[in-house]
Structure 1
């Protein structure tokens, strides 16, 4: 295996990158300016040294605690619980939420050997009991594992506090067509309907 094949193999291990895309990336790098390639390699080489999980919420950050946790303008009474650090960026890009976050680090998935003890649930319960939290928004993905995790969190929070626990609405996307919606999406849409 030569250097091109080795790099193609490495790129193809990235999520969403197949062999063809990996080959295109390698060819792009071969043709690119040497200074760009060196800078790119340095960024990759130092990424895990520079970026760590926030000690408070668990999102990726260079500064600990992260800028979200230290922002005094945010509503500290609301915590949005997400599965992964990249979910924080997704929600932040909507500019609809101004509270704090808590990253679980995954979902309960017994078939994969992931139980509640492997997630950052104890840290969430500690934050709820020690800070002045009035609402927890559960923003796990609308999957079987995400729903299981949300139900587990709801029960754990209810056992220690009487704060409001909500879940992000799920259902038909804007511009979606009923004809192409699956049964589960339609069922969630009916259950989550709101008065107009």
Structure 2
């Protein structure tokens, strides 16, 4: 299990880098989808920052703190099956870090953001300038990211209720408080 806090009120799970990564990525995505003008320099730079964050998080997945490492939460087939079975039966399935479904969503979001960043970068190159298929792909990826992000937020809310853990608060404080059963 994760390290208990000094007052034994919860478990330290998310290190400062993971939390900074998460909320900075959220800011980049919100800015690019809802605030910044498509194609303008701030939009492009926000996309570059988002893609760079993903690369840094991938490195941190191998060298970071215990629950930031991919080995701690990699969603293997068996882990996913066990998790879904417990969720279906209403049995508690507490995980100090990401649960297997959350890990799968995290990896999907990271891959999606990288694909979005790559397609955006390609649109600015001489080789792909003005290519309609690439612009369509980039727009499809942006719409898909909104859908995935919405599912992520909804799942965090639902799983917070099911597991008795305020997941959004844990991503702010770094501490998970598990409900006593």
Same structural fold, with TM-score higher than 0.5 when normalized by the shorter chain: no
**What band does the TM-score fall into relative to the shorter chain?**
under 0.3
TM-score (norm 1): 0.26
User: For the pair shown, which has the larger CA radius of gyration, 1 or 2?
Assistant: 1
> When you count strand as a share of all residues, which structure comes out higher?
1
TM-score (norm 2): 0.27
